Structure 1
Amino acid sequence: MVRTESYRSHNVVREDRPDGSIILTSGHELGEVADTTGDWLHRWAGEAPDRVFLAERSGPGWREESYSAVLEKVRAIAAALVGRGLNADTPILIMSGNGVDHGLLSLAAQYAGIPVVPVAEQYALIPGAHDRLRHVIDLVRPSLAYAVDAGEYAEAIALKELEGVEIVASRPGSSRATPFDDLLRGDAGIDVDAVHAGVGPDSVVKILMTSGSTSHPKGVPTTHRMMCVNQTQMADALPFLRERPPVIVDWLPWNHVFGGSHNFNMMLANGGSLYIDDGKPVKGRFERTLENLSMVTGTLAFNVPVGFSMLLGALRADDSLRRRFFADLDLVFYAGASLPQEVWEGFEQMAVEVKGSVPLMTSSWGLTETAPACLLQHEPTSRSGIVGVPLNGISVKLLPDEDMRCEVRVKGPNIMSGYIGDAGKAAGSFDEEGYFVTGDAMRFVDPERPEKGLRFDGRISEDFKLLTGTWVRAAALRLDLLSCLSPLAADLVITGHDRNEIGVLVFPDRQALADAGYAPEEAGGALTDPGLSAEIARRLAERARTATGSSTRVARALVMAEPASLGEGEMTAKGSLNARKVLTRRAALLDRLYDDDDPATIRIQGA
């Protein structure tokens, strides 16, 4: 029931090598690629000058910036930046979240060949996370820094690492910050056309920080070529992007490659409109998302699984919003984790009821280092969890084990050449054939039919062995346990390395516990509540009856009292747990988990 013209069929070429590796490529040719993001901006300012490109909430309505207005402001800001002496060697640190001024500054820097370094706003707003901000500043040495509100970001602006760095703020107040409006005045002494002519496909225009889930965040230099190629690859696979201008209402943060490169550039490359959602899929902020969607709905819907789960409930309760949401919808795209199948089916059913057909429901796979998309499920499927086939121009190397679980490596024009300031790390990130070693694992949906695609199967580095020698695939097990313990568990960490049994450290959803009537007490960093312990034990015991062996059977659990700390590195900026850091910082709680005499330890019958 998906429109047949809305997607391109998979075409996969498979090569089985004598060494056991498998090479997958696309049978389709790569389309025409722009040289720079400025080419897109000039195109749409000429073809659709009055069409909205960027918009953000302003009072009861929206501040909307058309393509022609954006181009004019981008050129002025670019001149102002170059007039200050900024160039390819003087990055701009962006400490604030998504916003029109953030977008204008970023595009102006790209236009002039000046790298921008957007970081998670939590790094600046949470004093405990300032060490991460300092790490980024030390790594990139910015010559200018931007914050939307100098008062709100005052503590970060005052860091000694930013002494001597010009601070620009949209709302400078009485601080030392330069008003953003000053940049809009440009610099008459700068030949902007000549500056832009010196920018090419290999110019580094963005340094994105990795999530830091296994180490300190690394700086990924992103070029115009990487971003422009990736948009061509996706539009080749999804023809509807070129058939009509896409529209999104999107909250995904621009410091992350999903929101800031994938979604932002998809609108710019295809003449679309990006309405910045200042809500978020968390309690207290999701209501703002619903308000925004009541005003504008998109043709594409991007989100993480928890966001789609919350949205599904809201759509069920609001007939008017439901009809508006699905009216022009071409795509439902999830990333970050597998979408629960019941949520997937809920959207399918709702779409059929509203419009008689289902938008393309899909996911993709890629990394910060790959700009990001390498695999995309671009033909309809009935199941969540499939990340698809190689995009045009991508070569995927799979290294299967005896169980056909494959380590995945990739090569292509959208992949970085190395990390900023860490040549040793970069050298170890590529194999002898130049494939980027991702550390991720995949499995074929159907080993005999590669065109059916691949599904993500966790991180190789997260796997561990029990004392029995049994391998535990921690990433896949974590997703299964989150489903089993939903909504009581907000997240969890799998344990058992060099132990006899698998355990789990549970980070609870405090609101879900309260809603369920639990009132746990703290006991030395753990939470105890007889009813909660019994419920967790019951669910895990029921699951244990269908477990396939010791590699998936959980024998014990402990509920954490303290949330994961961003400042201590237990949580990344995009909300993922750093399991290694959690286990190191909470070593005493890990020992308690394996102490049968500890009253906080939950033992699972039958495990």
Structure 2
Amino acid sequence: MAEGQTLPPFRLLPMKAPDIQMTRAEGGVIYVTPRQAPGDRPRTIPHCLDERAAEHPDRPFLREKDPATGEWQTLTYGEAKSITDGLAQAFLDMGAGPDAPVMILSGNSTRAAMVILAAQKIGAPAAPISVPYSLMSTDHEKLKHCFGAVKPAIIFAEQYEPFRKAISALNAGACHIFSADPAGENSVRHYDDLVATEPTDAVASAMARLDDASIAKYLFTSGSTGLPKPVPTTQGAMCAMIGGQEGLRDDARDPEYNPDLIPNVLDWLPWNHISGSNVNFNGAIWNGATFWIDDGKPTPALFQRTIDNIRDCSPSSFGTAPIALAMLADAMEADDALLAAFFKNMRSIGYGGATLSDDLYDRLQALAIKATGRRIPIITMYGATETQGITVVHWEAERVGLIGLPLPGMTLKLVPNGAKLEVRVKGPSVMSGYLDSPKKNAEVFDEEGYYCLGDAVTFVDEDHPEKGLVFDGRVGEDFKLSSGTWVSVGTLRPDFVAACSPLIFDAVIAGQDKDYAAVMVWPSQAVMEQYVKVAGGDRERALKTFTDELAHKAKAFNAGEPGSSRRLKRLLVLTEPPSIDAGEITDKGYVNQRLVIDRRADLVSRIYSDPLADGVVQL
């Protein structure tokens, strides 16, 4: 938009306006609580599924592409109830129950969804595991750790053959194993056979015993500070989060009167994390939505699938990581048909896991205006595996970087920690503690019972808290230079990545106790391949050209930064990708800053060596 030009209004976001109570206590502690009360919520997620099946049995619930034909296959709410009843009885017959979970090794699929919901129907915790622990790990250490922590009675892998080595590594002789593709293994039960099990009154009796304390899932943390920690996720926690969102809602939940208003959700986020499973998937059931399982991923190799799916689906909501939104913006700027399909039904765009840059925000709004004549609400929810969703942006925000305000039912406790405000939280969606980890539990809750996230936030305007909170980095990631100046990694890192877009996909900041901050970066795979192509296949020459152009962008970034805490003096391009086995990156693509610095200490030393080491660029 030209400077001074009036911006068009936003598309309506049917949410209540912020209404916040802020209380100050001794020591500079601040408590932040919404005045809105939680709204309606389901009794449990399985009860919610059965209610939707009774209300509209023929409404499409799940859509998934057939990998052989590329055609969308549809499962209705009524069919989902029937399938989960049969599976639930089969699981009871196989010994599953509250102390005998069902572990899911494969990724998002219609069958995996049915397994997760069927397990919950009988009170058997579902334990969806990060797929890379099985398929990309070489030692299966994290998978074996997860298996030992929850001790499942049943293991599901949709295609058995790809998971054969992982299952063998578990020595899971006492477990029942089943698959949609047993691949000739006599000991592997077939999914269709289990679905065909005739349910008895035992399934209804098990469902009748479900309450808020029933453990629905074991979700594992990303393992950023060691091995993944098992979080018992109760039905009450998941449903309380739905109630919190309903407390902010300002429209009808289930628009039966107008089928065109039935939400279409297109989502790829893995179900072993809260965003994909407890926010998006559970939310789809509550809203009677149609959930389209996106077989794409925010990578150069797989994002075209997401683009194709957008054309088919025209989703009403779409949430993903900023890196994927950048790829989507690139595609829509070059394709008016895709632009029209994306914004046809779009009510809001969501992002998470990293800060959205101002540049990308402006590009998305320009595209929304081109397609609809209006701006689009761009929102985010902040939370953790241990807490579910904590805060949400529920208004038409004119800026990026916000994490919103607490959901109804939640209270934030902001505690001074150096120059920052450390965020702690209490509410009905927060876990009571990690599984079998009394020592760790004693560390993560404070004296008032607030869970300590290790993150920091700041107010947009402390005199007007209704304007929201801004993420201010991880308390443990920030460091001091030798001058005593603090470097706020949580804000510097995304700003630098945005400034160097599209050349890099992520970066880590070094410099603790050094005279200046430095940066290590990973090139964008797609961009690097273009440099190699232009260089006629000469990767060494391509890397030099890439590095020169990246250094130019980095110097331009430095020129706009007034203080030493924001200027990066040296740069190194990393050639080894972040390691999942080592915990440097999660399956959602989020890089662990601290772990990378520790694991690559030799490269950090090389950056700071004098004279200048090969490959290190002085900015």
Question: TM-score scaled by structure 1?
Answer: 0.94
Contact 1:79–1:190 at 8 Å: present in 2 too? no
For the aligned residue pairs, the C-alpha RMSD in angstroms reads 2.0
Name 2:220's counterpart in structure 1. Answer: 209
Bigger mean CA deviation after superposition, 530-539 or 38-47: 530-539
Q: Do the aligned partners of residues 320 and 603 (structure 1) sit closer, same or farther apart at CA in structure 2, a change above 3 Å counting?
A: closer
Within the candidate set 469, 479, 490, 2:484 is matched to 469
Name 2:120's counterpart in structure 1. Answer: 110
Q: Distance in 2 between matches of 1:357 and 1:536?
A: 35
Q: Distance in 1 between matches of 2:246 and 2:52?
A: 16
**C-alpha distance after superposition, 1:460-503 (max 9, x if no partner):** 01111222222211121111221222222222211112222211
**C-alpha distance after superposition, 1:28-66 (max 9, x if no partner):** 111133221122112211111111111211223222111
Name 1:75's counterpart in structure 2. Answer: 85
| DSSP 3-state at the match of 1:458 | strand
Contact 1:540–1:604 at 8 Å: present in 2 too? no
Amino acid aligned to 1:574: K
Q: Distance in 2 between matches of 1:21 and 1:539?
A: 40
- What's the offset of the Cα at 1:178? 0.9
Name 1:60's counterpart in structure 2. Answer: 70
**C-alpha distance after superposition, 1:397-436 (max 9, x if no partner):** 1123575x31111100011000012111112111111111
Q: Do the aligned partners of residues 161 and 468 (structure 1) sit closer, same or farther apart at CA in structure 2, a change above 3 Å counting?
A: farther
Q: Distance in 2 between matches of 1:504 and 1:45?
A: 53
Name 1:393's counterpart in structure 2. Answer: 409
Bigger mean CA deviation after superposition, 532-541 or 155-164: 532-541
Q: Does 1:178 align with 2:189?
A: yes
Within the candidate set 485, 502, 517, 1:487 is matched to 502
Q: Do the aligned partners of residues 528 and 129 (structure 1) sit closer, same or farther apart at CA in structure 2, a change above 3 Å counting?
A: farther
Q: Distance in 1 between matches of 2:209 and 2:427?
A: 25
| DSSP 3-state at the match of 1:342 | helix
Name 2:308's counterpart in structure 1. Answer: 291
- What's the offset of the Cα at 1:240? 4.1
- What's the offset of the Cα at 1:598? 4.3
Q: Distance in 2 between matches of 1:235 and 1:30?
A: 6
- What's the offset of the Cα at 1:514? 3.6
Amino acid aligned to 1:210: T
Q: Does 1:577 align with 2:591?
A: yes
Name 1:356's counterpart in structure 2. Answer: 373
1:281-360 equivalent positions in 2, closer than 5 A: 281-360=298-377
Q: Distance in 2 between matches of 1:508 and 1:3?
A: 36
Q: Does 1:10 align with 2:18?
A: yes
Q: Distance in 2 between matches of 1:393 and 1:251?
A: 29
**C-alpha distance after superposition, 1:273-298 (max 9, x if no partner):** 10101111211211211222222121
1:115-264 equivalent positions in 2, closer than 5 A: 115-128=125-138, 130-175=140-185, 176-187=187-198, 191-240=202-251, 242=253, 244=255, 245-264=262-281
Q: Runs of 4 or more off by more than 6 Å in structure 1?
A: 518-522
Contact 1:76–1:183 at 8 Å: present in 2 too? yes
Q: Distance in 2 between matches of 1:356 and 1:228?
A: 37
Bigger mean CA deviation after superposition, 195-204 or 352-361: 352-361
- What's the offset of the Cα at 1:95? 0.6
Name 1:538's counterpart in structure 2. Answer: 552
Bigger mean CA deviation after superposition, 65-74 or 189-198: 189-198
Bigger mean CA deviation after superposition, 270-279 or 588-597: 588-597
Name 1:46's counterpart in structure 2. Answer: 54
Contact 1:482–1:491 at 8 Å: present in 2 too? yes
Contact 1:6–1:330 at 8 Å: present in 2 too? no
- What's the offset of the Cα at 1:574? 2.2
Name 1:595's counterpart in structure 2. Answer: 609
Q: Distance in 2 between matches of 1:531 and 1:321?
A: 33
Q: Does 1:19 align with 2:41?
A: no
Within the candidate set 435, 447, 459, 1:420 is matched to 435
- What's the offset of the Cα at 1:5? 6.5
Bigger mean CA deviation after superposition, 480-489 or 294-303: 480-489
Q: Distance in 1 between matches of 2:457 and 2:166?
A: 40
Question: TM-score scaled by structure 2?
Answer: 0.92
Contact 1:99–1:276 at 8 Å: present in 2 too? yes
Q: Distance in 2 between matches of 1:31 and 1:389?
A: 16
Q: Distance in 1 between matches of 2:90 and 2:370?
A: 53
Contact 2:323–2:505 at 8 Å: present in 1 too? no
| DSSP 3-state at the match of 1:369 | coil
**C-alpha distance after superposition, 1:505-539 (max 9, x if no partner):** 222224313424567867xxxx9954444333333
Within the candidate set 93, 100, 103, 1:93 is matched to 103
| DSSP 3-state at the match of 1:171 | coil
- What's the offset of the Cα at 1:224? 0.4
Bigger mean CA deviation after superposition, 343-352 or 202-211: 343-352
